[in-house]
């Protein structure tokens, strides 16, 4: 039984080439030894649409995924709050399977719930309103009709505004709401584990809920260094590059 690896919040972009290089090394040296790799959202700093797959920054990443998939490693991708416009053209080119958020998987005999995690941050009311707006099919259809560069310019403006707004918010507001976590776990019948990202606060939490013991793993981001969760039949371990 091999390792299954989980990553999120890489925020890959041309302005951080050292992180992209570290990630490509991770795919070649570490993920190539795994049976499966799960990317739980925010692979890219932003994604303006699948018509951007020919971008010079994106091509090496897509090619590396495809080589990994062709070697037999199962690749899974979940939308994050930055790259929810990734669609079938990207997944086909990269050899990845797009998972809905949330998703239940069988991980080495354990029932595991996967999520990006942003919908658990319910105390951030303004963000949740924005999330509902941009996840709507009608909004996405209209947005993707715009020229690619116009989309990129608009996303950059939204990002700058978002960074300013985040600086005005408390850390508690931007973390998960425990009641939202408990509700998700109840809806999915008390999985043995919950794995998510988004908050950039890597940690292993032990939850006692309605007589059930559940482990909540929070994945780290890749702003400073690479990190991942490695799981096999004996358990999970948080790792750094």
Show binding-site residues for Mn(2+): 9, 11, 42, 81, 116, 198, 200
| Nearest alpha carbon to residue 39 among 72, 1, 2, 82 | 82
CB 75 within 8 A of CB 90: no
Six token digits for residue 240: 């750094």
Cβ burial, residue 216 (10 Å; 0-12/13-18/19+): buried
CA distance 50 to 170: 34
Which residues contribute to the annotated binding site for substrate? 81-82, 124, 162, 166, 169, 198
| Nearest alpha carbon to residue 76 among 5, 175, 137, 3 | 5
What are the start-end ranges of the E strands in 41-126? 74-78, 97-99, 103-107, 110-115
Which residues contribute to the annotated binding site? 9, 11, 42, 81-82, 116, 124, 162, 166, 169, 198, 200
């Amino acid at each position: 039984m091999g390792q299954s690896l989980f990553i999120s919040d890489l925020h890959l972009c041309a302005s951080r080439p050292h992180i992209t290089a570290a990630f490509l090394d991770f795919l070649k040296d570490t993920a190539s030894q795994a049976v499966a790799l799960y990317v739980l959202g925010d692979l890219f700093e932003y994604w303006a649409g699948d018509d951007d797959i020919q971008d010079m920054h994106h091509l090496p990443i897509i090619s590396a995924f495809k080589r990994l998939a062709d070697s037999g490693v199962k690749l899974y991708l979940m939308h994050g709050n930055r790259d929810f416009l990734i669609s079938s053209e990207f997944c086909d080119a990269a050899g990845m399977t797009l998972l809905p958020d949330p998703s239940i998987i069988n991980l080495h005999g354990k029932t595991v719930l996967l999520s990006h995690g942003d919908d658990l941050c319910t105390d951030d009311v303004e963000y949740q309103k924005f999330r509902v707006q941009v996840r709507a099919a009608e909004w996405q259809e209209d947005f993707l009709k715009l020229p690619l560069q116009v989309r990129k310019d608009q996303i950059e403006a939204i990002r700058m505004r978002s960074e300013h707004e985040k600086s005005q918010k408390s850390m508690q507001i931007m973390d998960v709401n425990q009641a939202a976590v408990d509700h998700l776990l109840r809806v999915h019948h008390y999985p043995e584990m919950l794995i998510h990202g988004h908050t950039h606060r890597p940690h292993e939490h032990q939850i006692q809920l309605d007589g059930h013991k559940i482990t909540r793993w929070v994945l780290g981001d890749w702003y400073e260094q690479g990190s991942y969760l490695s799981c096999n039949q004996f358990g999970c371990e948080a790792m750094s590059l």
